[in-house]
Structure 1
Amino acid sequence: MAQYFEVHPENPQRRALGQVAEILRSEGLVVYPTDSCFALGCRVGNKDGLERIRAIRHLDRNHHFTLVCRNFAELGQLVNVNNTVFRAIKAATPGRYTFILPATKEVPRRLLHPKKKTVGVRIPDHVTAQALLNTLDEPLLSSTLLLPEQEEPMTSGWDIKQRLDHEVDAVVDSGDCGTLPTTVIDFSDDEGEIVRYGAGDPTLFE
């Protein structure tokens, strides 16, 4: 059964986040809130966690996973960013955007798009997500919690706990975080192309 952690939306309890971080370090898979939907998350090196995410969401091998980072310095270790792209991304982060970029050697090959060798990255503007990342002290491999049979992501942490009780190890709940996933911009060819319109304002990249 999944452990359920209800935390304060503005001052999430350190003890609870410490317990979640330990679950993640023990190769666990958790559900946590972001500034655009709940997300599934595990450590970047967690092979089993990656396969569990694929199984829960019925994802194929071409799916772009997202590495969720605390800040731009952390993001810059995972993807290659030139000066023009740097300025564009910097102006929009933290925020409700995912950027697809060529990955560095720091990223395990199994996380990369098989042909493009790219990966998604983002910096969320969400108190609980940032607090969890700071407690864990490393990025999270993530994917929006959108189940195959559903048209919109679930918004209730307790409902998620009941639905995925035997498929994840913990659910972190700090309240409703919406149903719109991130706006996705593909910078793999340097010029930004919006490949999904979502919660982030697309006019910054049009």
Structure 2
Amino acid sequence: MENEKLVNYNGDYNTKSVKIGNKSVQFQQDNSDKPVLVVRYSKLRKLLYFIIFIIPSLILSTTLAMFYTLQPTEAYIEYLLIKLGGWVWLLVSILFLMDTALTERFEIYRDKIIKRVRILKKLPVVGDKVVYFKDAYIDFTPSGIALCNCKSIIVFIFKRMYFDTLLLDKKDREKVAEVLSDISNIEKEKFLNIGNLDYHKFIQEKSSKN
């Protein structure tokens, strides 16, 4: 059954056929320089994501950061904290906008995942990224997953690769969940049930699949 599942991933294995007695048996030979799966965000889902989440977030954060004024009954420290929160919210909203808009595709290999962007490939945070599965940590987010080759949660926040699987077509989401489940030993449903926040090592022991 394992080989039958992997055959469906175009490009990751060379299929060979050999004769054993009167039977022809197929087997797969790993071709690690080719991706197991390549997926792109759905244009329609990206548009809806911008309209429903990013644009309102930008409007509200900009209002707080630039136009909020000290209220008569408000302490000055409260005012400063609100202004600071507005600027942080605005910066995060811009980063999410850039990250989603610039992302061209995700390439999943047996040992790593690569995010390719259209331009600004070397720009920190939103540029091209690669995460190796062997020592990776995964964070399940409200819109998908985030991966990083770092254990510290503070470093993770700034170096993580965001993979918003919610922005994929349904068929691609299923494929991604199947491939990542096969590699990590994490249940496929966990990659499909968006919103179950969790943070742990990507590669799990087979006996403790969760």
Q: Establish whether TM, by shorter chain, passes 0.5.
A: no
Q: TM-score range by the shorter chain?
A: under 0.3
Which structure has the larger Rg?
Answer: 2
Comparing both structures, which one devotes a greater share of its residues to helix?
2
TM-score, length-scaled by structure 1:
0.23
